[in-house]
Amino acid sequence: MTEVSDEARTNGPAEAPEPTLRVGPPRHDAAGVPGVLHALADVAEESVSRGLRALPLVNQHRGFDCPGCAWPEPGKPHLAEFCENGAKAVAEETTRKRADAAFFAEQPVSELATWTNHRLGKSGRLTEPMLRDEGADHYRPVTWDEALDMVAGELRGLRDAGTPDRAAFYTSGRTSNEAAFLYQLLARKLGTNNLPDCSNMCHESSGSALTETLGIGKGSVSLADITDHADLIVVVGQNPGTNHPRMLTALEAAKDRGARIVAINPLPEAGLQTFRNPQRIRGVVGAGTKLADRFLQVRLAGDLALFQAVNRLLLERDGDARAAGHEPVLDHDFIATHTDGFEEAAAAWRALSWSDVDAATGLDRAEIEAFVDDVVGARSVVVCWAMGLTQHKQAVATIREVVSFLLLRGNVGRPGAGACPVRGHSNVQGDRTMGIWERPPAAFLDALGAEFGFEPPRDPGHDTVDTVRAMRDGRLDVFMAMGGNFAAATPDTALTETALREVPLTVHVSTKLNRSHVVPGRRSLILPCLGRTERDDGDHRRAARDAAPRFVTVEDSMSVVHSSRGTLRPASDMLRSEPAIVADLARRVLGDDDPTPWEDFGDDYARIRESISRVVPGFEDFERRVSEPGGFVLPHPPRDVREFPTATGKARFTVNPLEVVRVPEGRLLLQTLRSHDQFNTTIYGQDDRYRGVTGGRRVVFVNPRDLEEFGVADGETVDLVSEWNGSSAGTSGNGGAARTGGTDEAARTARTHGAAAPQERRAPGFRVVAFPTAKGCAAAYYPETNVLVPLDHTAEGSNTPASKSVVIRLERR
Ligand SMILES: Nc1nc2c(c(=O)[nH]1)N[C@H]1C(S)=C(S)[C@@H](COP(=O)(O)OP(=O)(O)OC[C@H]3O[C@@H](n4cnc5c(=O)[nH]c(N)nc54)[C@H](O)[C@@H]3O)O[C@H]1N2
Ligand SMILES: Nc1nc2c(c(=O)[nH]1)N[C@H]1C(S)=C(S)[C@@H](COP(=O)(O)OP(=O)(O)OC[C@H]3O[C@@H](n4cnc5c(=O)[nH]c(N)nc54)[C@H](O)[C@@H]3O)O[C@H]1N2
Ligand SMILES: [Mo]
């Protein structure tokens, strides 16, 4: 392996807090007029009239789907169904700045590799295909023909050699259904299921747990369940004020009709406290709406213990109630008719150790009891969650336990009740539905094979972590990415970047410059594509034929499929749409004997939708139904008819052995999370308004009592050093085996290094911020801290990087 450069150690070059960094007190409320003004300032700075013209069309029927998060649109959108962070996403895409051929002629790759993620992103939109030849330090322009022929030649070579698994096709969740469907078809026709995607780092744990327990890996609630029906909404491991701001409007509507909200989080996130809705007069001039009625400040990774304790208490209260001749607390009819595994789970709850619960959660028993009062007082309960549950070693177990919690009182498959994993990227759920999955269900492959007359590969492919391993071990020749920023989003930055640089060919279909382009493979291509906001007229023939620009489709977090049509003039004439790029590439790879109508697919997306309607269940009559305002909802048997397509045909209670994370003396458990001014690896600005941070990102939030114990002062500069003993950093007990090679590798590393010599990883130069986070728990921003997350430190059962529980120490500079 080549030597690790300084840049590679830090995911960007910084070694010290930014000189402009200022820290003030955190806020207790979210949004309101300042938020919107802030966003409009962003749009104005980036794009003046371009972005402002775009905003009224966000999330409107006939407009484009917001390129931000996956929160659903209400049935009848307000005139401006956009939020502060949606506006920033639009501004970022509609910028007038350009990373064009002149830009690349001026900037050597070695220089760009020293830029921060923020500076790279602010270079503007990509305008034409660019190639970096082996050994060159500059990208140079190439034609689309040259670029696509180069990729096709390499892929054909792998197919002809019988080694298609030496290619991997990454997807980020902004890709449309149509592009995703073609992309997975290309991979499978080539002969591989190597389709890693951002889900592997995101809600994979939710998908795994929900599929096992409810039979379908998607959420079971609709927007109306939250706004109109739920009595209690539990928001756990999620920061909607920043990451799903439109969700606050739904929570406010729920509050208005008397619903209760409980927030469970190590951080007192502003958006969960008070919401100042800019679209209502009370939000503009009044005190705003108080959202969370109860806040449980749980320790990081403490939710499994918490939900086990709650389930145990529900069981006990049920026993007491029935003994006293009162109404039972559990829904025994539902449990008997629709579930299995209750007795085993109940026995495990009865054996739960309260000292484990105390250690894991850091909560008082009285707080947990009070939460149980809320639950018992609510006819219907929705649980919403995001990365705070999915990115831990026991993430899958935790989400299974949340499902048990819902099942106990029959809170699945009726109005106002259910499981609500709140998705990240705007079409991440749709991409999965379209077959972007390294382990596709057999039924999907059967249907795909029947539609296109071929035998799809059946062996599981690489997920994201396995893809990094394959790169590291020299088992990958072509890495292609449909969007995203693989280098910056993946864990273990030093290892990942070194591995990426050794891949013979990397290909990035992207809208904007990012870190993945500047830690290129030996040869590297950038293929620039249209964004959501832009008019997709296709080739000139078609434009002349009819004037309506083409549309694509997406699926939101609540399984609603709808269309998205860009309206703005593209950033450059040389941009192509994602479906057109994939179709053209596939035609070149597979040659003329391939009967798939690639050319038609690239030209007319209705043809793609026709195939989708025959391959993917729930998409019958796709074209007509998606043309209706608001689109249509995909079937979800547990939600719709209380049918559970699991192995046993019933919803399943599970037994989830608790491993309490025990952080060694003088160490902290670190979560890596988002600031208010970023979308994943795209850094909009340097502020985290709600947490009181401006002008910089190299901060670490620590509880003042921990600082006192360590003798470290607020404002000091430290290095963050992660310590990993090669297995499950600091856990006790023994959970199930991981899904992939992770456990073996981890065990091997543990043997090599032993408990006495943990592996160390370092992120230098962070300003310490005394902050009211749970004791023992620190927080710092992703992606700057990805360098600290060991590649093998993943969730059992989903292989998702456990990037919210990393053991660190603070080291004075
Ligand atoms: N503006 C904006 N919107 C976004 C994104 C963005 O970057 N910017 N990203 C999109 C994507 S891809 C995703 S996946 C989502 C992410 O949405 P979130 O999951 O809200 O994102 P994070 O910033 O990772 O925040 C995790 C939250 O969980 C809490 N948490 C962490 N660990 C634990 C734990 O162990 N237990 C509990 N109870 N809480 C915990 C943290 O304190 C924090 O509040 O947002 C999407 N929307
Ligand atoms: N430590 C740590 N790591 C994490 C996380 C964490 O919480 N902590 N979160 C994880 C999560 S939840 C996720 S989802 C992943 C995100 O991983 P990715 O999805 O790979 O990363 P993004 O930053 O969302 O990708 C941004 C890039 O996508 C490109 N892009 C934007 N729009 C388009 C488009 O319309 N088409 C195309 N082709 N390209 C486009 C732009 O070039 C932009 O630079 O990161 C994961 N990594
Ligand atoms: Mo995500």
CB 262 within 8 A of CB 294: yes
Distance 390 CA to ligand 1 centre (A): 10
More confident residue, 3 or 801: 801
Q: Where are the beta strands (DSSP E) in 226-344?
A: 232-236, 260-264, 274-276, 289-290, 294-296, 339-340
641 by Cβ neighbours in 10 Å (0-12 / 13-18 / 19+) ranks as exposed
Q: Please indicate, yes or no, whether residues 189 and 226 belong to a single structural domain of this protein.
A: no
When pLDDT is averaged across residues 670-696 and rounded to a whole number, the result is: 96
pTM for this prediction: 0.94
Residues 144, 131: Cα–Cα separation, whole Å: 11
Q: Please indicate, yes or no, whether residues 385 and 445 belong to a single structural domain of this protein.
A: no
> Which atom of ligand 2 is found nearest the CA of 682?
23
> Which atom of ligand 2 is found nearest the CA of 516?
44
- Domain boundary among the residues 421, 447, 474 is at 421
CB 23 within 8 A of CB 689: no
Lowest mean pLDDT, pick from 80-84, 195-199, 223-227, 401-405: 80-84
Distance 680 CA to ligand 2 centre (A): 5
Q: What is the sign of the dihedral through the CA atoms of 545, 613, 508 and 516?
A: positive
Q: What is the sign of the dihedral through the CA atoms of 501, 507, 510 and 513?
A: positive
In a mutational test of the pocket of ligand 1, which residue from 251, 367, 405, 673 has the highest number of ligand atoms less than 8 Å from its CB? 673
For residue range 271-295, what is the model confidence (pLDDT) as tens digits? 888 777 766 655 555 567 788 999 9
Residue with CA nearest ligand 1 atom 17: 243
More confident residue, 101 or 2: 101
pLDDT at 276: 72
Q: Please indicate, yes or no, whether residues 686 and 761 belong to a single structural domain of this protein.
A: yes
Q: Is residue 400 part of a domain?
A: yes
When pLDDT is averaged across residues 372-394 and rounded to a whole number, the result is: 98
pLDDT at 733: 34
Residue with CA nearest ligand 1 atom 6: 679
Count of structural domains, the chain: 3
CATH classification of the domain holding 411? 3.40.228.10
Residue with CA nearest ligand 2 atom 26: 484
Residues 342, 168: Cα–Cα separation, whole Å: 41
Position 493: which residue type? T
When pLDDT is averaged across residues 576-593 and rounded to a whole number, the result is: 96
When pLDDT is averaged across residues 519-546 and rounded to a whole number, the result is: 84
pLDDT at 747: 44
CB 389 within 8 A of CB 205: yes
Lowest mean pLDDT, pick from 361-375, 447-461, 539-553, 668-682: 539-553
- Residue 752 — pLDDT band, cuts 50, 70, 90? very low
When pLDDT is averaged across residues 49-76 and rounded to a whole number, the result is: 72
Residues 793, 789: Cα–Cα separation, whole Å: 7
Q: Please indicate, yes or no, whether residues 472 and 451 belong to a single structural domain of this protein.
A: yes
Q: Please indicate, yes or no, whether residues 417 and 548 belong to a single structural domain of this protein.
A: no
Dmax (CA) for the chain in angstroms is 81
Q: What is the sign of the dihedral through the CA atoms of 621, 447, 161 and 496?
A: positive
Distance 782 CA to ligand 2 centre (A): 11
> Which atom of ligand 2 is found nearest the CA of 170?
20
For residue range 552-574, what is the model confidence (pLDDT) as tens digits? 999 999 999 999 999 899 999 99
Ligand nearest to the backbone CA of 173: 2
**How is residue 46 written in tokens?**
């980036």
pLDDT at 288: 72
Q: Is residue 727 part of a domain?
A: yes
Q: Please indicate, yes or no, whether residues 601 and 559 belong to a single structural domain of this protein.
A: yes
Alpha-carbon separation of residue 247 from 243, 254, 445, 502, 557 (angstroms): 9, 11, 35, 42, 11
User: Which of 728, 722, 724, 729 is closest to 780 using CA atoms?
Assistant: 722
- Residue 63 — pLDDT band, cuts 50, 70, 90? confident
Q: Is the pLDDT of residue 761 over 70?
A: yes
In a mutational test of the pocket of ligand 2, which residue from 681, 683, 720 has the highest number of ligand atoms less than 8 Å from its CB? 681
Alpha-carbon separation of residue 88 from 27, 38, 61, 645 (angstroms): 20, 9, 21, 40
For residue range 235-244, what is the model confidence (pLDDT) as tens digits? 999 999 999 9
Q: Please indicate, yes or no, whether residues 226 and 198 belong to a single structural domain of this protein.
A: no
Alpha-carbon separation of residue 563 from 91, 456, 458, 616 (angstroms): 21, 29, 32, 17
Q: Is residue 584 part of a domain?
A: yes
When pLDDT is averaged across residues 798-805 and rounded to a whole number, the result is: 98
- Domain boundary among the residues 595, 619, 635 is at 635
More confident residue, 345 or 736: 345
Distance 211 CA to ligand 2 centre (A): 25
Distance 1 CA to ligand 2 centre (A): 26
Residues 405, 412: Cα–Cα separation, whole Å: 10
pLDDT at 59: 67
Q: Is 227 in a helix, a strand, or coil?
A: helix
For residue range 8-58, what is the model confidence (pLDDT) as tens digits? 444 556 788 999 999 999 887 776 555 666 666 666 566 545 665 666 667
Q: Is residue 41 part of a domain?
A: no
CATH classification of the domain holding 495? 3.40.50.740
pLDDT at 430: 96
Lowest mean pLDDT, pick from 4-18, 25-39, 206-220, 245-259: 4-18
Query: Ligand 1: which residues within 6 Å by Cβ?
Result: 68-69, 85, 202, 236-239, 242-244, 264-267, 269, 298, 300-301, 303, 386-388, 392, 424-425, 671, 673-674, 678-680, 804
Antiparallel, parallel or unpaired: β 552-555 and 560-564 = antiparallel
Distance 67 CA to ligand 3 centre (A): 13
pLDDT at 756: 62
Q: Is residue 679 part of a domain?
A: yes
Share of the chain above pLDDT 70, in %: 88
Residue with CA nearest ligand 2 atom 11: 202
Q: Is residue 264 part of a domain?
A: yes
- Residue 200 — pLDDT band, cuts 50, 70, 90? very high
When pLDDT is averaged across residues 623-636 and rounded to a whole number, the result is: 94
Distance 424 CA to ligand 1 centre (A): 9
- Residue 576 — pLDDT band, cuts 50, 70, 90? very high
More confident residue, 433 or 546: 433
When pLDDT is averaged across residues 317-333 and rounded to a whole number, the result is: 98
CB 715 within 8 A of CB 735: no
Mean pLDDT for all residues in the chain:
90
Query: Ligand 2: which residues within 6 Å by Cβ?
Result: 172, 174, 198, 201-202, 387, 391, 424-425, 482-486, 489, 509-512, 514, 529, 531-532, 578, 672-673, 680-682, 782, 786, 789, 803
Sheet containing strand 552-555, strands side by side: 552-555, 560-564, 632-633
Residue with CA nearest ligand 1 atom 27: 238
Position 269: which residue type? E
Residues 306, 325: Cα–Cα separation, whole Å: 28
Q: Is residue 93 part of a domain?
A: no
pLDDT at 56: 64
Lowest mean pLDDT, pick from 8-17, 465-474, 649-658, 746-755: 746-755
Q: Please indicate, yes or no, whether residues 168 and 190 belong to a single structural domain of this protein.
A: yes
In a mutational test of the pocket of ligand 1, which residue from 92, 239, 432, 464 has the highest number of ligand atoms less than 8 Å from its CB? 239
When pLDDT is averaged across residues 734-752 and rounded to a whole number, the result is: 41
User: Which of 302, 311, 553, 609 is closest to 426 using CA atoms?
Assistant: 553
Q: Is the pLDDT of residue 3 over 80?
A: no
Alpha-carbon separation of residue 454 from 583, 595, 619, 758 (angstroms): 17, 10, 22, 49
Q: Please indicate, yes or no, whether residues 750 and 807 belong to a single structural domain of this protein.
A: yes
CATH classification of the domain holding 711? 2.40.40.20
Q: Is the pLDDT of residue 727 over 70?
A: no
Q: Please indicate, yes or no, whether residues 779 and 708 belong to a single structural domain of this protein.
A: yes
When pLDDT is averaged across residues 654-668 and rounded to a whole number, the result is: 96
- Residue 536 — pLDDT band, cuts 50, 70, 90? very high
Full domain range(s) for residue 123:
98-202+427-635
Distance 807 CA to ligand 3 centre (A): 22
pLDDT at 522: 98
Q: Is residue 338 part of a domain?
A: yes
Distance 495 CA to ligand 1 centre (A): 25
> Which atom of ligand 1 is found nearest the CA of 391?
32
pLDDT at 751: 44
Q: Is the pLDDT of residue 663 over 50?
A: yes
Distance 689 CA to ligand 2 centre (A): 22
In a mutational test of the pocket of ligand 2, which residue from 88, 511, 669 has the highest number of ligand atoms less than 8 Å from its CB? 511
552 by Cβ neighbours in 10 Å (0-12 / 13-18 / 19+) ranks as buried
DSSP bridge partners of 171: 197, 482
String of DSSP letters for 9-70: HHTSS--S--TT-EE-PPPSEEESHHHHHHHHHHHHHHHTHHHHHHGGGBTSTTSB--SSB-
Q: Please indicate, yes or no, whether residues 241 and 356 belong to a single structural domain of this protein.
A: yes
CB 230 within 8 A of CB 382: yes
pLDDT at 549: 84
Share of the chain above pLDDT 90, in %: 80
- Domain boundary among the residues 392, 421, 450 is at 421
pLDDT at 546: 58
Half-sphere exposure of 177 (CA within 13 A, CB side): 32
DSSP bridge partners of 562: 554
Q: Please indicate, yes or no, whether residues 579 and 695 belong to a single structural domain of this protein.
A: no
